[in-house]
Amino acid sequence: MDALSDLAGRPDRFAPVIHIAGSKGKGSVTGMLASMLEAAGRRPARYMSPHIIDYRERISVGNSFFDESVYCDAGNELRDLVENKVPASKNSLFDPEKGGEPPTFFEILTMYYFLCARTGGCDSMVVETGLGGRLDSTNIVDPEVSIITLIELEHTAFLGDTIALIAGEKAGIIKPGRPLILARQSAEALEVFTKRTAEKRSPLFYYPDIASIENLKIHPGGTDFSLVINGKNMQREIPPIDLSIQIPGAVQAENAALAVIALKTAFPDISDDAIRRGLKQFTIPARFERIIEDPPLIIDGAHTVESVTLSAGTFCSLYGEEGILLFACAADKNAAGMADILLPRFSRVVITMPGTFRISESEKVYSAFCAQSGGDHSKIVFIKDTIEAIRYVLETARENKLPVLSIGSFYLAAEIRGFVLNTGSVKY
């Protein structure tokens, strides 16, 4: 990526960057930052994944897509880079005959983002890692501040099979002397980050030590709270600020806190009014998104034990424990662990495939749920075809006036969102 960026004239260095890694919540934090920067009158380029409906969700300016001309002009520049400048460079990194390899798809996509940001005249960049951190293609940036959200066991085939190993990969985004805003962590992960920031002489702002959420109110329309920041630990006085976001959940309040602390660190002149407006207008697909009002249908991309626990807890606190669960996950996820959390909280559970983009083993997921049911499989339904499962759940919910939570995969969320939008029953 460094070699590729050199050939492109270092588009990753033309504007200040905030870099985000972590296992859960990094997409929300990325989007919140871009929304607040936009509310402050800046032009932030936002890079995040996955997309839900439109690929341009990954590469955007603030909360909107770039003009079509930006995507086209940057695309032409990218094509010239890959087809002409890379071969002409004779760099052994790109030459298979010398032990190298061509840029990967995600490396090219990441470079496309930087080119779009530069072509689109952006004055700031908010960059979410794709996988891990140390070897991620985004890790060529020199950020004003880095953020690491909650660490869980994930992508163990690539990142390691312990929290410490995964935290070590995420810690790879910490840059010498650059502040790190760190979410609440297990003791195992915190030890890794404390050691790494000390080695890099990077200021560490650990959320539980520097901030707290007060007056928390969670309702179907979102979350209201007061953010109290310890000015002494931040080395300056920061008055409390009352905030609202459109996504329900205590975890989203903590995500917002990370974003606000990072913003005040990187851009201290941005006003509290811009922060309030930016968070208030922030939306993001498939993060506890209510896409049908009556009966409520919530889609959430949560796909780890910790994240489904939080999502199901928020759902049940708002709608009760008699709702319908629509669940699917990729083959590499802990289906048994999630089944143990989810089964007791729903009156009916429908297992399906998360679309066809990711490899899944839906029969094994169904078996995992049955194994956790104590021998009573009566409330568990297996419908392999995703669209058929969606139709069944929506019909059952309407007939019985039951709320629905779809969880386990962003790809399932995308299938549901597309189906609902196409049938015209979405709330908007």
- Other CB atoms within a 10 A radius of the CB of residue 97 amount to 6
**Per-residue pLDDT for 427 more than 50?**
no
Which one has a higher pLDDT value, 60 or 153? 60
The contacts of residue 104 (CB under 8 Å, 6+ apart) are 137
- Distance set, CA 54 to CA 14, 64, 72, 107, 134 (Å): 27, 12, 16, 19, 28
Q: Which two tokens stand for residue 290?
A: 């209510």
**pLDDT tens digits, residue range 238-276?**
789 999 999 999 999 999 999 999 999 999 999 999 999
| Alpha helical stretches, state H, 201-249 | 207-210, 231-234
**Per-residue pLDDT for 295 more than 90?**
yes
Q: What is the mean pLDDT of residues 178-206?
A: 97
Beta strand segments in 11-140, E:
17-21, 44-47, 59-61, 124-128
**Per-residue pLDDT for 183 more than 80?**
yes
Closest C-alpha to 42, from 19, 12, 63, 65 = 63
- Residue indicated by tokens 């078996």: 367
Contact 250, 213 (CB under 8 A): yes
**Per-residue pLDDT for 308 more than 80?**
yes
The predicted structure's pLDDT at residue 413: 94
The pairing of beta strand 324-327 with beta strand 297-299: unpaired
Task: Give residue 239's identity as a one-letter amino acid code.
Answer: P
Percentage of residues of the chain with pLDDT beyond 90? 83
The predicted structure's pLDDT at residue 426: 46
Cis peptide before 354 (omega within 30 of 0): no
What is d(CA 382, CA 377) in angstroms, rounded to the nearest whole number? 11
What is d(CA 168, CA 163) in angstroms, rounded to the nearest whole number? 8
The predicted structure's pLDDT at residue 271: 95
Which one has a higher pLDDT value, 98 or 29? 29
pLDDT band at 152; cut points 50, 70, 90: confident
Q: What is the mean pLDDT of residues 189-213?
A: 96
Q: Which two tokens stand for residue 421?
A: 């939008």
Contact 320, 351 (CB under 8 A): no
The predicted structure's pLDDT at residue 424: 61
**pLDDT tens digits, residue range 134-149?**
999 999 999 999 999 9
| Vertex 381 angle, CA 392 and 339, to 5° | 120
The predicted structure's pLDDT at residue 233: 59
Exposed/middle/buried for residue 18 (C-beta within 10 Å: 0-12, 13-18, 19+): buried
The predicted structure's pLDDT at residue 230: 82
Mean pLDDT over the full length of the chain = 93
**pLDDT tens digits, residue range 406-424?**
999 999 999 999 899 887 6
- Distance set, CA 42 to CA 61, 74, 278 (Å): 10, 21, 11
| Vertex 312 angle, CA 306 and 313, to 5° | 85
DSSP conformation class of 236: S
Contact 184, 253 (CB under 8 A): no
Q: What domains does the chain contain, in order, with CATH numbers?
A: 2-206 (3.40.1190.10), 289-423 (3.90.190.20)
**Per-residue pLDDT for 428 more than 50?**
no
Q: What is the mean pLDDT of residues 340-360?
A: 89
Q: What is the mean pLDDT of residues 366-392?
A: 93
pLDDT band at 160; cut points 50, 70, 90: confident
Going edge to edge, which strands form the sheet with 241-245? Answer: 211-219, 222-229, 241-245
- The b/e string for 308-336 (b: 16+ C-beta within 10 A; e otherwise) is bbbbbebbbebbeeebbbbbbbbebbbbe
What is d(CA 24, CA 283) in angstroms, rounded to the nearest whole number? 17
Lowest mean pLDDT: which of 174-178, 180-184, 233-237? 233-237
Which one has a higher pLDDT value, 54 or 157? 54
The pairing of beta strand 241-245 with beta strand 222-229: antiparallel
Closest C-alpha to 348, from 304, 303, 295, 305 = 295
The predicted structure's pLDDT at residue 107: 96
Lowest mean pLDDT: which of 29-43, 82-96, 245-259? 82-96
**pLDDT tens digits, residue range 355-367?**
777 677 899 999 9
Asked whether the whole model's pTM tops 0.75, one would answer yes
